[in-house]
Amino acid sequence: MDNLATLAGVLIDRPQLILEIHAIVDREKDGFALKQKQLTEQLILNDGNNPDLAKRITAMETLLGRLAGEDAVNKIKVGLLAEAAGDEQPVESSPDRENDKYGKSLYQA
């Protein structure tokens, strides 16, 4: 941080200086972050940031269905049902917990 403060001070004191910065891009990491940002923006535009979990899930289902097809949504549902059926130990479950898990799965798709 000290280096940045020094640099800022020099640039303020000498406005004639031009600073060139060359960016380095990691296509895998940056690509994933960009996709997440775009998804978040699309969700916000389509009621995906609604505090009501059911409405947020509906927005995510709609968006995923539009982008990847209804089969993608159904695949997530079937996968979660199969996972729940395969659990050997009973886990205390609630509709909110299941919806939250489903919502996270939709977001990660």
- Provide the domain limits for residue 76: 25-108
In a domain, 1, yes or no: no
In a domain, 51, yes or no: yes
Highest mean predicted confidence (pLDDT) among 15-19, 56-60, 103-107: 15-19
In a domain, 101, yes or no: yes
In a domain, 44, yes or no: yes
pLDDT reading at 99 higher than 60: yes
Tell me the residue type at 65. G
C-beta atoms surrounding 56 within 10 Å: 21
List pLDDT tens digits, range 29-49.
788 888 778 878 888 887 767
Residue 62, classified by CB atoms within 10 Å of its CB into exposed (0-12), middle (13-18) or buried (19+), is middle
List pLDDT tens digits, range 54-90.
888 888 888 888 888 888 888 888 888 777 777 555 4
Domain count, the chain: 1
In a domain, 10, yes or no: no
> Whole-model pTM?
0.52
Per the listing, tokens 């995923």 go with 64
Report the alpha-carbon distance of residue 72 to residue 83 in Å, rounded. 17
pLDDT of residue 13: 94
